């Protein structure tokens, strides 16, 4: 089961500036010159093919766009960061 996303696209940082930045990368991806900008690329190659789906990555604080990323790399990094934030201070109710 997936969790619903909080807020609309602009609140999540995907408004007009996101669209502008993504459009700027489209010709580079279309020429087959794009590389995955994820900190940790999970694919066999950082290359993003001309027919591949891709996400526009951003810094953890969402202050800057980093460039194209494989969807798996983008969502994995975000999930890892989100899970770490949620488990901080986790208390067990049972003594081991």
pLDDT digit string (tens) for the chain, length 96 residues:
344 456 666 666 678 988 999 999 999 999 999 999 998 999 999 999 999 999 999 888 888 999 999 999 998 876 666 665 666 655 556 665
Is 67 in contact with 88 (CB distance < 8 Å)? no
The pairing of strands 65-69 and 55-58 is antiparallel
Instruction: Give the model's pLDDT for residue 30.
Output: 97
Rounded to an integer, what distance in angstroms lies between the CA atom of residue 6 and that of residue 81? Answer: 16
Kindly report the pTM of this predicted structure. 0.69
- Other residues' Cβ atoms within 10 Å of the Cβ of residue 68: 23
């Amino acid at each position: 089961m997936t969790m619903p996303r909080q807020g609309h696209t602009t609140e999540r940082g995907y408004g007009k500036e996101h669209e502008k930045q993504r459009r700027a990368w489209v010709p580079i991806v279309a020429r087959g010159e794009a590389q995955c900008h994820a900190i940790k690329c999970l694919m066999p190659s950082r290359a993003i093919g001309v027919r591949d789906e891709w996400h526009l990555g951003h810094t953890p604080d969402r202050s800057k766009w980093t460039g194209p990323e494989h969807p798996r790399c983008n969502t994995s990094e975000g999930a890892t960061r989100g899970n770490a934030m949620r488990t901080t201070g986790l208390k067990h109710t049972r003594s081991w």
